[in-house]
Amino acid sequence: MLDYMVLPFKRYAQFTGRSRRMEFWSFALLMAIINTVLIGIMFASTPGLFDNATPDDPFAMYGALFSGMGVLIILWFLATFIPSIAVSVRRLHDRNMSGWWYLAFVVVSVIPFVGLIASIAFLVVMFLPGTPGANRFGPDPKTGVAELI
């Protein structure tokens, strides 16, 4: 499973081909774990973070975001932004859907209420199995797993 977690980094900006569910969800798990740890350390290393927020300066508590740990979180986000999009597009390709659907889901997700439905629909699509055999985006990733890892 660890191989699938780092596979999106090996295929950093590859928007062609297909990705299996295991690759997508393993990467999502890795992202959730690392983000939780980094944010937890940031809040733990900044005592009195919420004491600095006053009605005169409501943005004072965001100072932690620009501390050492906050910069690390921003760098982590920048390093994982493209692989996150790429693995999502490849996962849509596995469902025989164009990568432009990802942009449609992102745009629609900012609309109140409709965005909630779009986000749930996106999760459902990501949970569904890929099309068996080759499709217009390439061969079935389950048959060629050894070459990818």
Domain membership of residue 69 (yes or no) is yes
Write out the residue range of the structural domain in which residue 114 sits. 2-137
Number of domains in the chain: 1
Q: How far is CA 30 from CA 35, 62, 90, in A?
A: 8, 26, 18
pLDDT bracket for residue 96 (50, 70, 90)? very high
pLDDT in tens, 34-63: 999 988 887 787 766 556 556 666 666 666
Contact 127, 21 (CB under 8 A): yes
Compute the mean pLDDT over every residue in the chain, rounded to the nearest whole number: 86
Length of the chain: 149
Domain membership of residue 79 (yes or no) is yes
Domain membership of residue 30 (yes or no) is yes
Question: How many angstroms separate the CA atoms of 141 and 145, rounded?
Answer: 6
